[in-house]
Amino acid sequence: MALSHAKREEIPEDAVIISQEEALTYQWKIISEWEKPTEVIALRNGPAVLSVLSGVTGFFVNNHYRKYLRLGVYGRSSTYLPIVVIPALFTYMTHKYFVQRDLILTPIACPLCLQTRASAFQSGIGCVYPTVLAPFAAFMFATRHYTYRLPSITKNPKDVFKLWRKMTRPITPVLATIFVGQAIAAAYITYREQLEYLRLQIKMQEIENKIMEEHFSSTSSFE
């Protein structure tokens, strides 16, 4: 059954009215059970791909600062969890809820707006968040375990900032490329999701029309 949006006065008498959550569940069931996986590959795997991009970025940034401050095994899980794992999970959830949800419920409301939203979430969570958090976490563990001589954040904040800038300068071009790359990747995947969903809706409508035609033709033959 293909879903459609309509005003209450435009709804046919025999139409089945369902809530947004029911419509979302129904559409996801169709997508997950679609007989040709290649036709819904972005819808199924898009959030996971973006999640991996965020995780890889977090790993790269965290590893850079940890290596610079000679942390070794100190605070490994305490830094990788919030900087690698959490951004990856948040990326997956935000794309599912704030992008794919709106895509399914209002597929043609504003395609460009949805792509821009996806890019903003991806770049923010997948690049900006780990880039900001990683040096703070590394500084904390370096101070606790005396792996690097750090200036006092309370007495010499300027020196701390200079050290951060010195540490960050070598990877600044890479971070800029990652930021733009993640935004482009999110926009493209969202575009593919939109395309796949519209094609899915068209095919579902064609299947429904075919079933209706067969039903009417069989009814006519009995008469």
The verdict on residue 11 lying in a domain is no
Residue 6 has pLDDT above 50, yes or no: no
Q: Where are the beta strands (DSSP E) in the chain?
A: none
- The tens digit of pLDDT for each residue in 47-82 reads 999 999 999 999 999 999 999 999 999 988 899 999
Give, in degrees to the nearest 5, the angle at Cα 128 between 139 and 173. 90
Q: What mean pLDDT comes out for the span 14-41?
A: 81
Kindly report the pTM of this predicted structure.
0.85
Site of tokens 């035609």 = 213
Token duo for residue 117: 């939203």
Task: Tell me how far apart the alpha carbons of residues 206 and 209 are, in angstroms, rounded to a whole number.
Answer: 5
DSSP letter assigned to residue 7:
-
Q: Is the pLDDT of residue 108 over 90?
A: no
Asked if residue 146 is part of any domain, the answer here is: yes
Instruction: Report how far residue 45's alpha carbon sits from residue 133's, in angstroms, rounded to the nearest whole number.
Output: 28
With a pLDDT cut of 90, the percent of the chain lying above it is: 59
Helices (H) and strands (E) counted in the chain, each on its own, are 9, 0
Question: Would you place residue 222 in the very low, low, confident or very high pLDDT band (cuts 50, 70, 90)?
Answer: very low
In a domain, 190, yes or no: yes
Residue 23 forms part of a structural domain: no
| Residue at 147 is within a domain | yes
- For residue 162, is it within any domain? yes
Average the pLDDT over 202-223 and give the result.
67
Rounded distance between C-alpha atoms, residue 186 and residue 52, angstroms = 12
**What is the end-to-end Cα distance of the chain in Å, rounded?**
27
Both tokens of 32, joined, read 């997950």
61 lies in a domain?
Answer: yes
Ramachandran angles phi, psi of 195, nearest 5°: -65, -45
Q: How many distinct structural domains can be found in the chain?
A: 1
Q: By mean pLDDT, which of 60-64, 83-87, 89-93, 153-157 is the weakest? A: 153-157
For position 46, what pLDDT does the model report?
A: 96
What are the tens digits of pLDDT across the range 119-132?
Answer: 999 999 999 999 99
pLDDT digits (tens, 9 = 90+) for 147-200: 998 888 788 889 989 999 999 999 999 999 999 999 999 999 999 999 999 999
179 contacts: CB under 8 Å, gap ≥ 6: 123, 127, 128
Structural domain of residue 113, as residue ranges?
A: 50-197
* Higher-pLDDT residue of 40, 216: 40
Alpha helices in 69-156 (DSSP H): 76-80, 86-94, 101-105, 111-123, 129-145
Mean pLDDT of 19-43: 87
- Please indicate, yes or no, if residue 93 is contained in any of the structural domains: yes
User: What is the pLDDT at residue 84?
Assistant: 95
